[in-house]
Amino acid sequence: MSGIIWALIAGVGFGIFQAVHRRANQLIDAYRATFRLLLIGFVILGTVTFTTQDLDPVRHAPWWSFLAFSAVGIVHFFFGWTFLALSQQRIGAARTGVAIGATPLIGSILAALILSEPLPPPTFIGVVAVVIGVALIATRAGDSGPIQTEIPWFALGAALSWGTSPLFIRWGLSGLPIPLFGVTVGLAAAATLYALVLVLAAPETGGLSPRRATGWLALGAIILGTAITSQWIAFDLIEISIAITLMQISTPVVVFAAPLVVGREMERVTLRLVAGMVAVVGGSILVVLTGSA
């Protein structure tokens, strides 16, 4: 299966996951939701990894692969997922999903600067269109009519995390090309760090999560595990700028899935949101067409 197909599978999975995760965020605070998601994801992926993968190469893998996989966990999972959960609670899953469309801008530029991947001028134009889409969702009509500006900082923080992590993924896989094992190491590192943070913040975040939230988080972890594995395989097969842009199919998926999962009263699809989505997807397509030329 080509890297393009893997990237599309990852994008659809990420879109559905964001809608499911938003549902869990209605029942539990963002920090405990993220920690439980990390823990469930680690258990599921760890089980699959150790029962289906040939792990003999792990014994001879360079130390920096483990370090890179751990860095992915901190950057992508610890920071990225926390920013995602906080943004969803603040502005909703649909608007968050569109704002995260800034990820190709960060990922493509970093891949060009650090990995020497091509970034022709037409590709950059497409990435700029993604930024325009983010600007559209940052402005909205207030209840009394005037336009209000609310920069989606948490969503942009997630985009920064997810645009940076592919660099560590590429470095880790170059020394140990077992994506499932790499994801498992990353989840373990992120879950361990999160456990320490929650222990220190126990008075504010302690307590058990509602049973319904745990169910939604388990479903989200299964979907996310599939998406993440597909993402890592795509990063190993094709250029990061192309893979990360194809995954922006998650944008229309979350925009239309969120109202169905969460409820239309909580996730409203407005004309401005659709316009922002069109800019994001259109820019992403331009990046793919020019970057793969």
In a 13 Å sphere around the CA of 104, the CA atoms on its Cβ side amount to 40
DSSP 195-260: HHHHHHTHHHH-SPPPHHHHHHHHHHHHHHHHHHHHHHHHHHHS-HHHHHHHGGGHHHHHHHHHHH
> So what's the pLDDT on residue 139?
65
> Domain range holding 141?
3-291
Q: What is the dihedral of CA 270, 273, 278, 284, to 10 degrees?
A: -160
Kindly report the backbone phi and psi dihedral angles of residue 140, in degrees, each rounded to the nearest multiple of 5, phi listed first: -155, 160
Low-confidence ranges of the chain (pLDDT < 50): 142-144, 203, 205-208
Q: For the beta carbon of residue 106, count every other beta carbon within 10 angstroms.
A: 19
How many domains does the chain contain in total?
A: 1
In this prediction the pTM is: 0.74
> So what's the pLDDT on residue 130?
74
